[in-house]
Amino acid sequence: KNYGALFLSDDLNNYPGQQHTQLGRDIFGCFSDALPDRWGRTLLLRCEQLAAFEEKRSVRRLSSFDFLTGIDDFSRMGGFRFKEDPQGEFINVSQSLKIPPLTDIRELIAASQEIEKSEEANILPERKWLKQLVQPGSSLGGARPKASVVDTNHALYVAKFPSRKDDYDADFGSISRISWP
């Protein structure tokens, strides 16, 4: 049977049903672009560390799938959405918009600085700082602290924040609009 000519990546075959990744990989190559980079991974790892501490258990090693599904569906990069069941809901779809308004920028900067401070001191951040940033900030690429924000018309922006690791004065950071054709 012909399933069409669309191939997402060399390591994912073009037929329905269960498939397995190559030895030594925990995700198909086409999905790796949707994974969060250092800042997003930091937020998700800190959430897992905090949950393990609160639940008095060992910290789980997060897989690439955990990182993919741990970020909010609305702001996930890479153009993919994920379901466990073809008739089910998309994974990690928020019932209410969790992307904060542009007017919350100062609070988001403060939260990112508190998370970086906790990293430097090798202590767990307060849950309130993670809660402010994990949904809007975990899906974005790069190492710099950042978060997705929306304006009053719900247009999506990426706000990059100053980092405690900056070797220059980046007082406010930058805000860029995300637009699709």
pLDDT digits (tens, 9 = 90+) for 58-84: 999 999 989 988 887 777 777 788 888
Over residues 84-105, the pLDDT tens digits come to 888 998 888 766 557 888 888 8
pLDDT score at 114? 94
**Integer Rg of the chain from CA:** 18
- The per-residue pLDDT for 138 is 81
Q: 0.75 cut: is pTM over it?
A: yes
DSSP annotation string for 10-63: TTB-SSSS---PPTT-SS-GGGGGGS--HHHHHHHHHHHHHHHHHHTSPPPPPP
pLDDT at 1: 55
Name the more confident of 133 and 141.
133
Pair of tokens at residue 79 = 């153009």
Q: Are 92 and 73 in contact, with CB atoms under 8 Å apart?
A: yes
Q: What is the DSSP string of 47-112?
A: HHHHHHHHHTSPPPPPPHHHHHHHS-GGG-SSS---BSSTTSPBTT--SS--SPBGGGHHHHHHHH
Per-residue pLDDT band for 120 (boundaries 50, 70, 90) equals: very high
Residue 181 pLDDT > 50: no
pLDDT in tens, 10-61: 888 888 888 999 898 889 988 888 888 888 899 999 999 999 999 999 999 9
- Which residues, including other chains, have CB under 8 Å from residue 41's CB and lie 6 or more apart? 67, 138
How far from 90 is each of 93, 103, 136, CA to CA, in Å? 6, 29, 17
